[in-house]
Amino acid sequence: FSDNKVLCAQRNENMSLPLMWEFPGGKVEKNESEVDALKREINEEMLCDLEVGNKITSTSYEYDFGIINLHTYKCNLKEKMPKLTEHKSIKWLNINELETLEWAPADIPAVKIIVDGE
């Protein structure tokens, strides 16, 4: 979140679920907390740092390539703005605009919680 907007990232053509939208993040490594993983992944993928706030939800989704356990947190950017490195596109959207995107299925429950909770 930044100025009450939500950062949305579009997967590139070479990723699984090409061109679908997701909340930025990544995999939790062995002996790493969810929060530490989120900070590390955002730093690696978007070259910025953030302050992790409250957890919004945890969900699981079974794709044909495996089960995804998704942990979504409300975060605020620190100083550096995100830069596009791996994704095709990033957008800052108002909460009421989130449902206009084609979200990866695993992210849809979190989108609904954010939209309904605001």
Chain segment 62-106, per-residue pLDDT in tens: 998 889 999 999 999 998 889 999 999 999 999 999 999 999 999
User: Strand order of the sheet with strand 5-10?
Assistant: 21-22, 5-10, 89-94
Stated pTM of the model: 0.89
Joined together, the tokens standing for residue 115 give 């939209």
Mean pLDDT, rounded, of the chain = 93
Work out whether the CA dihedral 15, 85, 78, 42 comes out positive or negative.
positive
